[in-house]
Amino acid sequence: MRVLDLTNAPVPVTVNGITIAPEAIAAEAQNHPMPKGSKPGWAWKAAARALVLREALLQEARTKNIEAAPIELEEGKWETQDEALIRQLLEQAIPAATIDEAALRALYDDAPERFRGPSLFEAAHILFAANPEDAGATLLARQQAEAVLAELKRDPRRFAALAKQFSACPSREHGGMLGQLASGDTVPEFEAALAVMEEGEISKTPLESRYGFHLIRLDARVRGEVLPFSTVLPQLREAQEKTGWVRASRAYIDALAAKTTVTGIDLNEKPEKVEHSAVRKAG
């Protein structure tokens, strides 16, 4: 007769006696990509924690006899019953944020130059394409970019010819010219490089982006004008409201978790970079 040793069997994950199925945790783990350097089991713990908090919120909503009233998030896409219950629970529990316009005015006055309209750029680039996940391709692209940059340092006038010869971007047919660019037209890392370059300058080192490596030439720039406080106030209000809502929702969920009986996972042991993914604020 074979006797199974169950002393080391995993403790099931439960929330006030309700079991979270292992299959549900495994499926949820797909939504929690493991950061580099994380310990084994990170995604499982993050998924289990998210589902435990979600179940605790749903139980609390049912305790309060909330009836789900799903709303349309976008054309043709509606909340699920569970999403509606959680949203309605938080709407009841979390008071509307108080907007402190005096504090927003002080924030603006402290550094108004941060609040500018879109800048305009005229630029050209040479792209050496590489998938960031492919170490070999990334190394090769960097080496090629550095070799071409050395050529440009010897003769900047060859930019267009080198762009046509080496660039992986369709702009190579126009000497690498990208035309007029406004803030937001390019990936953030590219725009950040343009913002600190001098007109007529070629980037001193290859710029790495999600597409590979770029050699950039900034031909012209027109900085956006500082926007008046009245123009940026709606955005500042929205940012303050969202910050207040996130802070209040975290406090509420933490308080709810503290009075919830949970087995199989320690909610006090929070995986790094895990937020309260059990809920998203509508809108």
Long-range CB contacts for residues 205-209, cutoff 8 Å, separation at least 24: 205/149, 206/128, 206/142, 206/145, 206/146, 206/149, 208/142
How many domains does the chain contain in total?
2
Domain membership of residue 268 (yes or no) is no
Give the list of residues 6+ apart from residue 68 with CB closer than 8 angstroms, or none.
81, 82, 84, 85, 88
**75 with 29, same domain?**
yes
Burial 117-140 (b: 16+ CB within 10 A, else e): eebebbbbbbbbebeeeeeeebee
- 253 and 165 in a common domain: no
Give a yes or no: residue 275 inside a domain.
no
201 and 237 inside one domain: no
- C-alpha dihedral sign at 259, 261, 266, 272: negative
Query: In whole angstroms, what is the distance from residue 112 CA to residue 104 CA?
Result: 11
pTM comes to 0.61
Based on the fold, state whether residues 148 and 79 are members of the same structural domain. no
Examine residue 177 and state whether it is found in any structural domain, yes or no: yes
Whether residue 129 is found in the same domain as residue 213: yes
Q: Are residue 237 and residue 257 in the same domain, yes or no?
A: yes
Considering the domain architecture, whether residues 157 and 201 belong to the same structural domain is answered as: yes
The reply to whether 69 and 161 lie within a common domain is no
163 and 129 in one domain? Answer: yes
Q: What is the pLDDT at residue 272?
A: 52
Q: Which of 222, 255, 275 marks a domain boundary?
A: 222
280 closest CA partner among 35, 70, 6, 90: 90
- What does the pLDDT read at residue 95? 86
Distance, CA of 55 to CA of 21 (rounded, Å): 12
pLDDT, residue 248, reads: 93
Please indicate, yes or no, if residue 283 is contained in any of the structural domains.
no
Residues 124 and 198 in one domain: yes
Q: Is there a domain that residue 3 lies in?
A: no
Q: Residue 161 is part of which domain span?
A: 120-222
- Annotate 210-239 with b (16+ C-beta within 10 A) or e (fewer): ebbbbbbbbeebeeeeebebeebbeebeee
Asked if residue 141 lies in contact with residue 130, where contact means CB atoms within 8 angstroms, the answer is yes
Q: CATH number of the domain that 185 lies in?
A: 3.10.50.40
Residue 103 lies in a domain: no
Statement to judge: residues 202 and 257 lie in one domain: no
Same domain, yes or no: 184 and 141: yes
Residue 270 maps to a domain: no
User: So what's the pLDDT on residue 206?
Assistant: 97
Instruction: Kindly state whether residue 106 falls inside one of the protein's structural domains.
Output: no
User: Which tokens go with 187?
Assistant: 């990936």
Comparing CA positions, the residue from 243, 249, 241, 242 lying closest to residue 279 is: 249
- The answer to whether 205 and 152 are in contact (CB under 8 A) is no
Contact 248, 31 (CB under 8 A): no
pLDDT tens series, the chain, 283 aa: 344 344 455 789 999 999 999 999 999 999 988 777 777 788 999 999 999 999 999 999 999 999 999 999 989 999 999 999 999 999 999 988 888 899 999 999 999 988 988 889 999 999 999 998 899 999 999 999 999 999 999 999 999 999 999 999 999 999 999 999 988 899 999 999 998 999 999 999 999 999 999 999 999 999 889 999 999 999 999 999 999 999 999 999 999 999 999 999 988 876 554 444 444 443 3
Q: How far is CA 202 from CA 178, 179, 199, 211, 219, in A?
A: 14, 16, 9, 19, 9
Classify burial at 21, counting beta carbons within 10 Å of its beta carbon; exposed 0-12, middle 13-18, buried 19 or more.
exposed
